[in-house]
Amino acid sequence: MDYSTPDRSAAAAHTPDASHDVAQDAKRSATSTRINLAEPPPVTSAEWDHLRFRVVALENLLIALMSDGSSPRLDRMREMARHVAPRRGCTEHPVSQFAAAQIVHLVERARHVKNHPLT
């Protein structure tokens, strides 16, 4: 996915002169704004860092909640990794494999917290 800034040269190339109708210029400006708003905005490094911090915090909260659950519930959560991983005959996708591994990792961290309370 491309997070670079959208090309606004087409919108900037238009220079209004006295012969143009103001209503047409406003309509054209609104149309170009809608087109530009449809593209994702650029993401700064500070925003990526903030997102990473929030994901780590959410993972830790999830592990705390999962550690309060029963062992059969943790087993069921671990089984969810099989549903994320590709089925037989399907092409394995690295993102699916990584997601399945993350589920297993979270469940194992929750088991560790369950067996070794933080108190």
Q: What's the pLDDT score for residue 20? A: 55
What average pLDDT does the structure give for the chain?
79
Q: Establish if 14 belongs to a structural domain.
A: no
Residue 62 structural domain: 45-115
Residue 45, pLDDT score: 94
Residue 49 lies in a domain: yes
Q: Is residue 30 part of a domain?
A: no
Question: 71-84 and 94-115 are packed helices; what angle lies between their axes, rounded to 10 degrees?
Answer: 170
**How far apart are the C-alpha atoms of 39 and 3, rounded to whole Å?**
9
**8 Å CB contact between 4 and 42:** yes
pLDDT digits (tens, 9 = 90+) for 59-103: 999 999 999 999 999 999 999 988 887 777 777 888 888 999 999
The answer, yes or no, to whether residue 37 has pLDDT greater than 90, is no
Residue 58 lies in a domain: yes
The reply to whether 40 falls in a domain is no
